[in-house]
């Protein structure tokens, strides 16, 4: 299928941050094959998208979530992280079935596509159910699999689960025409013991996949780790070989100067989750300082149970404002830096080197945003408009791998009403047993 986007004002998100006006984008199958002012004679489109008066940008990338936790949206609020997990979330998760994870993932994916997100990094259970949802919807994702925290441990035993994990990581790497990637999940240094941390590190090396971990999220996580290991969680990661892999670390709220230098040296990609960190009272990650040091953070929503949406526009808005307020400095972070976190840096956090920017040769993961809403009028600077004024409802069209997943605000691969009905039914059953 050949797709042409006409009259496109493109925010490329490449290194020089070009904004190209009134362009034609040609997409052959899953790839961008041409960007220019004129329609090329060699290209015969099967379909044409008119992007007049809209912004064409790379799809947003949600670099840390637990997609199927949409089922637990608003189930447990106003509690600190430990009580939120132990009292609100774990008892429900203990009863999750394949069907529940599928319905929760479908709901999360529908919400993400509608709000302009084209890819996400997921840490959850019953991965096969998530894979089915990804296959059916067309979104891009990286699924993280825990060596022994997987839901297969009971059934297969520890060794069997390790073998299953390795097989899952290898067989789903670059699956579904490159839409799926895999990574090793380490939930956290506080839930996973030291031998397991070493094992996970080796597994990542053997399978050449990145590691996805929650790190330095709360003050108590760091204090308890120092009591247990005599060092911070990041230092434990260095000791156990984790940092010798590519690491995408969610939160990184409570990091001291030494930890931050370690992150820089080992090229750890921190994922900023401002909603979750504020909702759970965890604190403020010093993202401006990390950027100043040359670290390139990504952005994520975390699960919908601690956000409580999967809306990356809301997340960009918060990321752009909280640091200015907290530091009493309106230049602490700018809109361009926040957009990079949500696009090009996100692609790196997910281990995809062929999306996150709009350029010839890259995958066609594209979000097209209307500029004619009340909240976007008058329209001048697209960067400011996207970060400070845009809402999820302004998203008009979404493409992943060259496929149109939303057109004129209508999802093309998902029956929205059915998804809502099925998810509500799953949630009702889960809540009735708790």
Q: Decide if 194 contacts 130 (C-beta within 8 A).
A: no
DSSP 385: I
The residues, any chain, with a CB within 8 Å of residue 245's CB and separated by 6 or more, are: 184, 201, 204, 205, 210, 211
The phi and psi torsions of 65 (rounded to 5 degrees) equal -150, 175
* Count of residues engaged in binding Zn ion, rule: CB under 5 A: 1
Please choose, from the candidates 87, 102, 193, 89, the residue with its C-alpha nearest in 3D space to the C-alpha of residue 147: 193
- Shortest CB 319 distance to Zn ion, Å: 16
- Shortest CB 276 distance to Zn ion, Å: 7
CA distance 141 to 61: 9
Q: Which is nearer to Zn ion, 12 or 277 (CB)?
A: 277
Burial 123-153 (b: 16+ CB within 10 A, else e): bbbbbebbbbbbeebbbbbbbbbbbbbbbbb
Q: Decide if 319 contacts 346 (C-beta within 8 A).
A: no
- Shortest CB 216 distance to Zn ion, Å: 13
Select from 286, 302, 365, 394 the one that contacts Zn ion (CB under 5 A). 302
The alpha carbon of residue 272 and the mean position of all alpha carbons in its chain are separated, in whole angstroms, by 10
Burial 160-183 (b: 16+ CB within 10 A, else e): ebbebbbebbeebbeebeebbbbb
Q: Which is nearer to Zn ion, 302 or 365 (CB)?
A: 302
Which residue number places its CB atom closest to Zn ion? 302
The stretch among 20-28, 44-52, 298-306, 411-419 that binds Zn ion (CB under 5 A) is: 298-306
- Shortest CB 303 distance to Zn ion, Å: 6
Q: Decide if 238 contacts 264 (C-beta within 8 A).
A: no
Q: Which is nearer to Zn ion, 182 or 367 (CB)?
A: 182
CA distance 33 to 25: 8
- Shortest CB 277 distance to Zn ion, Å: 10
Q: Which is nearer to Zn ion, 162 or 302 (CB)?
A: 302
- Shortest CB 23 distance to Zn ion, Å: 38
- Shortest CB 302 distance to Zn ion, Å: 5
Q: Which is nearer to Zn ion, 302 or 394 (CB)?
A: 302
Q: Which is nearer to Zn ion, 13 or 67 (CB)?
A: 67
Q: Which is nearer to Zn ion, 54 or 272 (CB)?
A: 272
The stretch among 33-41, 295-303, 372-380, 391-399 that binds Zn ion (CB under 5 A) is: 295-303
Count the neighbouring beta carbons within 10 Å of the beta carbon of residue 395: 24
Q: Which is nearer to Zn ion, 196 or 302 (CB)?
A: 302
Question: Could you tell me the two tokens for 399?
Answer: 């493409």
CA distance 275 to 352: 25
- Shortest CB 345 distance to Zn ion, Å: 18
CA distance 221 to 361: 43
The stretch among 136-144, 297-305, 311-319, 399-407 that binds Zn ion (CB under 5 A) is: 297-305
The stretch among 3-11, 200-208, 302-310, 327-335 that binds Zn ion (CB under 5 A) is: 302-310
The stretch among 26-34, 192-200, 299-307, 374-382 that binds Zn ion (CB under 5 A) is: 299-307
Q: Decide if 102 contacts 71 (C-beta within 8 A).
A: no
Residue 211, strand partner residues: 184, 247
- Shortest CB 3 distance to Zn ion, Å: 35
The stretch among 220-228, 300-308, 345-353, 369-377 that binds Zn ion (CB under 5 A) is: 300-308
- Residue 25 to residues 43, 107, 402, Cα–Cα distance (Å): 10, 31, 11
The residues in 12-51 that bind Zn ion, with binding defined as CB under 5 A, are: none
- Shortest CB 79 distance to Zn ion, Å: 15
Q: Which is nearer to Zn ion, 306 or 367 (CB)?
A: 306
- Shortest CB 349 distance to Zn ion, Å: 13
Question: Could you tell me the two tokens for 375?
Answer: 């909240």
Count the neighbouring beta carbons within 10 Å of the beta carbon of residue 154: 8
Q: Which is nearer to Zn ion, 302 or 396 (CB)?
A: 302
CA distance 89 to 434: 11
CA distance 395 to 409: 7
Q: Which is nearer to Zn ion, 302 or 422 (CB)?
A: 302
Q: Decide if 266 contacts 246 (C-beta within 8 A).
A: no
The stretch among 130-138, 223-231, 301-309, 367-375 that binds Zn ion (CB under 5 A) is: 301-309
> What track of x and - describes contact with Zn ion for positions 245 through 284 (by CB under 5 A)?
----------------------------------------
Site of interaction with Zn ion (CB under 5 A): 302
């Amino acid at each position: 299928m050949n797709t042409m986007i006409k009259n496109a004002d493109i925010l490329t998100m490449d290194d020089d941050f070009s904004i190209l006006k009134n362009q034609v984008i040609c997409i052959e199958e899953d790839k961008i094959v041409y960007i220019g002012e004129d329609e090329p004679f060699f290209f015969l489109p099967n379909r044409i998208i008119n992007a007049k008066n809209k912004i064409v940008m790379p799809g947003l990338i949600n670099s840390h979530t637990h997609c199927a936790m949409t089922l637990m949206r608003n189930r447990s609020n106003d509690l600190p992280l430990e009580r939120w997990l132990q009292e609100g979330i774990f008892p429900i998760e203990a009863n999750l079935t394949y069907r529940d994870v599928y319905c929760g993932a479908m709901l999360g994916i529908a919400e993400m596509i509608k709000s302009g997100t084209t890819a996400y990094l997921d840490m959850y259970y019953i991965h096969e159910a998530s894979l089915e949802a990804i296959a059916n919807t067309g979104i891009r994702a990286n699924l993280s699999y825990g060596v022994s925290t997987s839901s297969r441990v009971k059934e297969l035993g520890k060794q069997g689960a390790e073998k299953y994990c390795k097989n899952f990581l290898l067989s789903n790497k670059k699956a579904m025409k490159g839409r799926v990637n895999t990574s090793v999940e380490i939930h956290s240094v506080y839930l996973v013991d030291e031998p397991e941390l070493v094992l996970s590190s080796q597994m990542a090396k053997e399978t050449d996949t990145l590691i996805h971990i929650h790190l330095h999220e709360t003050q108590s996580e760091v204090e308890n780790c120092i009591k247990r290991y005599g060092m911070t969680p990041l230092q434990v990661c260095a000791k156990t070989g984790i940092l010798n892999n590519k690491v995408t670390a969610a939160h990184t709220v409570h990091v001291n100067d030494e930890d931050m230098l370690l992150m820089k040296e080992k090229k750890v990609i921190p994922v900023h989750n401002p909603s979750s960190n504020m909702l759970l009272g965890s604190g403020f990650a010093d993202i401006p300082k990390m950027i100043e040091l040359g670290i390139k953070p990504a952005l994520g929503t975390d699960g919908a149970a601690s956000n409580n949406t999967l809306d990356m526009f809301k997340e960009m808005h918060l990321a752009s404002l909280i640091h200015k307020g907290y530091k009493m400095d309106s230049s602490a972070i700018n809109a361009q830096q926040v957009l990079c976190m949500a696009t090009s840096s996100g692609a790196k956090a997910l281990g995809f080197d062929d999306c996150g920017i709009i350029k010839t040769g890259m995958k066609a993961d594209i979000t097209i945003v209307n500029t004619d809403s009340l909240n976007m009028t008058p329209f001048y600077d697209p960067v400011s408009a996207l970060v400070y004024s845009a809402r999820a409802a302004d998203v008009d069209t979404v493409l992943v791998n060259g496929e149109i997943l939303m057109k004129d605000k209508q999802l093309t691969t998902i029956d929205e009403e059915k998804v809502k009905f099925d998810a509500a039914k799953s949630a009702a059953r889960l809540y009735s047993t708790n």
